[in-house]
Structure 1
C-alpha cells in the first residue's frame, strides 16, 4: 500500500513538473523584437554576424541575447518595396512559423492599412476606402480573423495580438478617429471578437505611443472604458529620442504610467516598442535596462515584457538610427541588456 501511494505521488509530481515546464514560456517575462524588416533585409542580401565575425541567423543572434519573442506587423495589401512593403498575411505566417521553430513566442500587430499606421497617419487600405462604416466593421473582423486563423492552421497561435498600431488618435481615419469614439470603440471590439473567435487564450493589446505620457493614456483609456472597449493588455511605445528627452529625464514618468495603467484599468501592461540611438551604445543599454526593470516591477505580475522595435534594422540598410545593430553587421552590445536584466 505504501509503495502504491509513493508511486502515485511520483506520477503526480512528474505530471506537475511537465505542466509547469509546458507553461513556463507563457508566464515568463517577454523580451523580444519587432523583426518586420527581416525578410526584406535577407532578400536584399544583408548578412548578419556574431561578435566573433561568424555569419549567423538573425533570430539566433537575438535569442542568444536573451530574447524569447518576436513581433510581426501585418498590412492588408502591401507593395513589395524593401522599406515600406511586404508584411502580407502569407509573409507573416512564414515568419511566425520560423520564429516558433526557434522557440520564440509571437505577437501580431495589425496596422489596418496597406502601409505604416502610426499617430501621424491611419490610412485605410485602398480596397476599403469607399466602404461604409458597417462595411468597415466587417472588414476589420474578416481581415483579423483571416490572418489569425491562417496562423493557427499553419500551426502557430500567437500569444498576443494588437488591434491597431499606435492609435492615440484612433485608426481607419476618418471613421475610426478619436473624434468619433463610439465608432472607434466598435472597430476595436470587432478586432477583439475576431481574435477570440480563433482562440480565447490569445491576449488582445491596444497600443498607444509615448509611454511616459500619463495624461495621454488616461484620456485614451478613459474613453475606451466609456465605450466598453474589450482588451486584455495596454501596450506602450517608449522612445525618449522622439520626445527629445534622455531616458533619465522621463523614466520616472514611465514607471508611474505603467503602474497607474495596471491599477486604474486592472489590465496587464507591456512595452511593445522601444529603441535608443545606435551610436549611443551605453545610453541605449541603460535605457533598456531601466525599462525592463520598470515593467518587471509593476505590481501583481502585471508587467508582461519589453520588445525592441527592429533592433536588427541596421542604419546602413534602413537609414533608421534607433536600431541596435552595428555598421559591420553585428549586434550592438546594447542588446546585452536583455540577457542581463
Structure 2
C-alpha cells in the first residue's frame, strides 16, 4: 500500500508541475489549402508497357510519378473510360495509377469521360453499352458507373480531392441526348446524376464542370448560365488552355478575366485542369506556365485552385501528341521549371 501511495504522490507531483507547461503539437498538413500544381499523366501505364522510360535532367532513369513530384508537382489527374479496348483507363488501370499517386502523397483528380474513348468538344460518344438508352436509363447508367469507379478507389483507401463530371463538355455530353445546344435541361440532368453519385461516395470531394478554351468568356457564360438555369450542382469551374508560343500572353490575360468573371457571376472556384504547348518551345512554354500560375493565384477571393499540365511526359511523338513537355530523350524540358 505504501508503494502505491508513493507512486500516486509522484505522479500527482509530475502532473502539477507540467499543467502550465506549453503543449506543442505539429498541426496536420492541410494539402487542400495549397495551390494545386500537377499533371494529367493517364498515359503513363500504357507508355511503360510500351517500353518508354523517363529520365531526370541529369539523365538518370526515374519512375514517372516520382519524377513529376521532384519537378514540384503535388497533384495527379486520371481519366476514366467506361469499357475501353484495350483496357487502358478502365477502372482497374485508374485504381493502379491512383495507388501509385497516393503512395507518393500526391493529390488526385478523377476525370470521367462517360465514353469508351476520348470525349472532347468535337465528340461526346456514348459508351457502346449505353446506346439505345433513354434519358432515364442514361442517368442511371452514368450514376452507376461513377459510383462503381469511386467505390473501387474508396475500397483501396483513395479519396480523390476533385472529380470531373464529363470532359471538355463545351456542348454537353452523351450526344445526342445530352447535347447542350439542343437540350440544356437534359445535359444538366445528366450532370447532376454524376455529381450526386460523386457526393454519395465522397461527400467532401469537389465536383468540377469542365469546358475548354478558358479565354472564351462568351462560351463560359452561355454554358454556366444554362447550367444555373437548369439547377446544375457543382463546386468548381474547370477549364483548358492550349495557346501557341505567339499568343499565350494575350490568352492568359483573357483567361484571367474570364476566371474573375466566373467567380463574380457564379460564386464558384476555378481551376485550369489542362494546359499544353509545343514541346520544342520550352522557353515560351515556361513563360506561359509561370505567368498562368501567377494569374490563377491572383484570382479574386483566393478562388483560383491550381494549374495542371496535360500529359507532359508524352515524348518522341507518342501517339502523335506534340504538346508535352519532355524532349525526345525522355527528359523534362525547362518548361516544367515553372512548377518548382
Normalized per residue, the structure richer in helix is 1
| TM-score normalised by length of structure 1 | 0.93
**Secondary structure of 2:288's aligned partner:** helix
**Secondary structure of 1:240's aligned partner:** coil
What is the CA deviation profile of residues 200-255 of structure 1, one whole-angstrom value per residue up to 9, with x for unaligned ones?
100000001000011100110000100010000000001113xx961022221111
Closer, same or farther: CA 129–283 of 1 in aligned 2, 3 Å: same
Does 2:83 match 1:69? no
Taking the aligned partners of 1:270 and 1:6, their CA distance within structure 2 comes to 46
What is the CA deviation profile of residues 249-292 of structure 1, one whole-angstrom value per residue up to 9, with x for unaligned ones?
22211110111111211011000000111111110001101110
What is the CA deviation profile of residues 100-123 of structure 1, one whole-angstrom value per residue up to 9, with x for unaligned ones?
101110000000000000000000
Find the partner of 1:53 among 59, 64, 67.
Answer: 59
**Secondary structure of 1:18's aligned partner:** coil
| TM-score normalised by length of structure 2 | 0.93
Does 2:285 match 1:279? no
Taking the aligned partners of 1:55 and 1:287, their CA distance within structure 2 comes to 28
Moved over 6 A (4+): none
**Secondary structure of 2:118's aligned partner:** coil
Taking the aligned partners of 2:76 and 2:319, their CA distance within structure 1 comes to 19
Quote the residue 2:139 is aligned against.
137
Quote the residue 2:169 is aligned against.
167
Taking the aligned partners of 2:67 and 2:99, their CA distance within structure 1 comes to 17
Computing the radius of gyration from Cα coordinates, the structure with the larger value is 2
Taking the aligned partners of 2:58 and 2:216, their CA distance within structure 1 comes to 41
Quote the residue 1:31 is aligned against.
37
**Secondary structure of 1:177's aligned partner:** coil
Quote the residue 1:194 is aligned against.
197
Quote the residue 2:96 is aligned against.
94
**Secondary structure of 2:228's aligned partner:** helix
Does 2:20 match 1:6? yes
Taking the aligned partners of 1:306 and 1:245, their CA distance within structure 2 comes to 20
Does the Cα contact within 8 Å between 2:211 and 2:239 map onto a contact in 1? yes
Gaps of 5+ in 1: none
Quote the residue 2:11 is aligned against.
none
Taking the aligned partners of 1:323 and 1:38, their CA distance within structure 2 comes to 13
Does 2:231 match 1:225? no
Taking the aligned partners of 2:281 and 2:234, their CA distance within structure 1 comes to 36
Taking the aligned partners of 1:90 and 1:250, their CA distance within structure 2 comes to 38
Taking the aligned partners of 1:3 and 1:71, their CA distance within structure 2 comes to 52
Does the Cα contact within 8 Å between 1:160 and 1:203 map onto a contact in 2? yes
Taking the aligned partners of 1:99 and 1:145, their CA distance within structure 2 comes to 21
Residue 86 of structure 1 and its aligned partner are, at CA, apart by 1.0
Closer, same or farther: CA 168–316 of 1 in aligned 2, 3 Å: closer
Residue 6 of structure 1 and its aligned partner are, at CA, apart by 2.5
**Secondary structure of 1:315's aligned partner:** coil
Does the Cα contact within 8 Å between 2:165 and 2:207 map onto a contact in 1? yes
Gaps of 5+ in 2: 1-14
Quote the residue 1:305 is aligned against.
306
Taking the aligned partners of 1:316 and 1:147, their CA distance within structure 2 comes to 31
Taking the aligned partners of 2:198 and 2:326, their CA distance within structure 1 comes to 34
Does the Cα contact within 8 Å between 1:315 and 1:323 map onto a contact in 2? no
Count of equivalent residues: 325
Does the Cα contact within 8 Å between 2:316 and 2:329 map onto a contact in 1? no
Taking the aligned partners of 2:142 and 2:317, their CA distance within structure 1 comes to 36
